[in-house]
Amino acid sequence: TDLYEAPDYYLLDELLTDEHKLIRASVRDWVKKELSPIIEDYAQRAEFPSQLLKGLAEIGAFGPTIPVEYGGAGLDYTSYGIIMQELERGDSGIRSTASVQGSLVMYPIYAYGSEEQRKKYLPKLASGEMMGCFGLTEPDHGSNPGGMTTNIKDAGDHYILNGAKMWISNSPFADIAVVWAKDEEGKIRGLVVERGMEGFTTPATHNKWSLRASATGELVFDHVKVPKENIFPNVIGIKGPLGCLNQARYGIAWGALGAAMDCYDTALRYAKEREQFGKPIGGFQLQQKKLAEMITEITKGQLMVWRLGNLKNENRATPAQISMAKRNSVETAITIAREARQMLGGMGITGEYPIMRHMMNLESVITYEGTHDIHLLITGMDVTGLDAFK
């Protein structure tokens, strides 16, 4: 079981409640028993392990912060972060599925939806009976989602939706899609599109070298009739989708550190066992430098997300603070994955160890939910007051 003990160099466990530790133990246990034994095989075959959905719902990975009356667990943001950390120690793609369902589908329905929409969708999404996806990015508008061209036109009791979204996690199997589109006045609105609506298709994206165990696809809308009751009444403008991203990016800040921990754990154990030149490679200074830097960066990252969690619990975390943590954690994880991969020598490129899979997954994580560059520019704008985007 020592395989699954997280590095805790600064005794951060003392900052967690008993409930946090219980949640962590139950998710960690599930990852160890259900996810880790199968994930490499699914990633190699580029297939999403859909049998995990039920278990993900049971451990409370879908919308843990959503209130109990709507099927959520009503947990705090530290708990949410811990769940994402443990899932991503298993695989970034499985964490993605949970991020999308909770932060990008359930959150907007809860925060911007009508009472009818909340009651109709949230309990089923929490239980995994219904799966969702989030359509913001378009073929020509990724970092600049405000330029989107997907649009709705008023047609009496319904809207007519046209356009296309690209790179959408979970789209190939989702039952519903939270879609962002411009109305006739150019204002961004969010609406729920259901599988089966005429003119709505979700072609899968193939040939990915990253997040291979996660399903990615497009959303194509060809004159789709969407009932007016499916539009979110309580938000207008780009701040709607960006508000969802705050939730998901916060979870990724914790999650990516989980991937980093798994790479560090693996490299540390390997370095103590693998002998060359008559002694364990962990006894050579060059390998110790790598391990020492890894644990230092993980520890700094842990402190950052713990503090961010507290700010989030108090509703004081700013979007720019969340950007900084998302960027830092992913940078930490991807650097650690690359160093850890080298420490395993040739074995590091095989599926016998999780490192190469984490490393390739993190190439998506550093790009989605705002690229590394975009988050840097958000920090730059925050500290200077000058907008480098426009």
- The answer to whether the Cα torsion of 54, 59, 64, 66 is positive or negative is positive
Q: Which segment (147-155, 310-318, 322-330, 368-376) binds ligand FAD by CB under 6 A?
A: 368-376
Binder of ligand FAD out of 13, 293, 373, 387 (CB under 6 A):
373
Options 40, 331, 339, 369, the catalytic residue: 369
Q: How far apart are CA 150 and CA 222, in angstroms?
A: 10
Q: Of ligand TGC, ligand FAD, none, which one does residue 239 interact with (CB within 5 to 8 Å by kind)? A: ligand TGC
Binder of ligand FAD out of 36, 151, 367, 379 (CB under 6 A):
367
Q: Of ligand TGC, ligand FAD, none, which one does residue 245 interact with (CB within 5 to 8 Å by kind)? A: ligand TGC
The count of other CB atoms within 10 Å of the CB of residue 390 is 5
Q: Of ligand FAD, ligand TGC, none, which one does residue 7 interact with (CB within 5 to 8 Å by kind)? A: none
The reply on whether position 200 binds ligand FAD by CB under 6 A is: no
Distance of closest approach, residue 349 Cβ to ligand TGC, in angstroms: 25
Q: How far apart are CA 197 and CA 168, in angstroms?
A: 18
The reply on whether position 364 binds ligand FAD by CB under 6 A is: yes
Q: How far apart are CA 28 and CA 43, in angstroms?
A: 20
**Residues 101-110: b if buried by 16+ CB within 10 A, e if exposed:** bbbbbbbbbb
Distance of closest approach, residue 136 Cβ to ligand FAD, in angstroms: 3
Q: Of ligand TGC, ligand FAD, none, which one does residue 319 interact with (CB within 5 to 8 Å by kind)? A: ligand TGC
Binders of ligand FAD among 97-156, rule CB under 6 A? 100, 133-137, 142-143
Residue 55 has which token pair? 């278990």
- Structural contact between residues 149 and 138, judged by C-beta atoms closer than 8 angstroms: yes
Q: Closest Cα to residue 358, out of 390, 378, 334, 376? A: 334
> Residue 223 phi/psi, 5° resolution?
55, 50
Question: Could you confirm whether 19 is annotated as catalytic?
Answer: no
Q: Of ligand FAD, ligand TGC, none, which one does residue 367 interact with (CB within 5 to 8 Å by kind)? A: ligand FAD
Per DSSP, 138 falls in state: B
Q: How far apart are CA 187 and CA 210, in angstroms?
A: 34
Residues identified as active-site: 369
> Which chain residues interact with ligand FAD by CB under 6 A?
100, 133-137, 142-143, 167-169, 211, 216, 364, 367-369, 371, 373-374, 377, 389
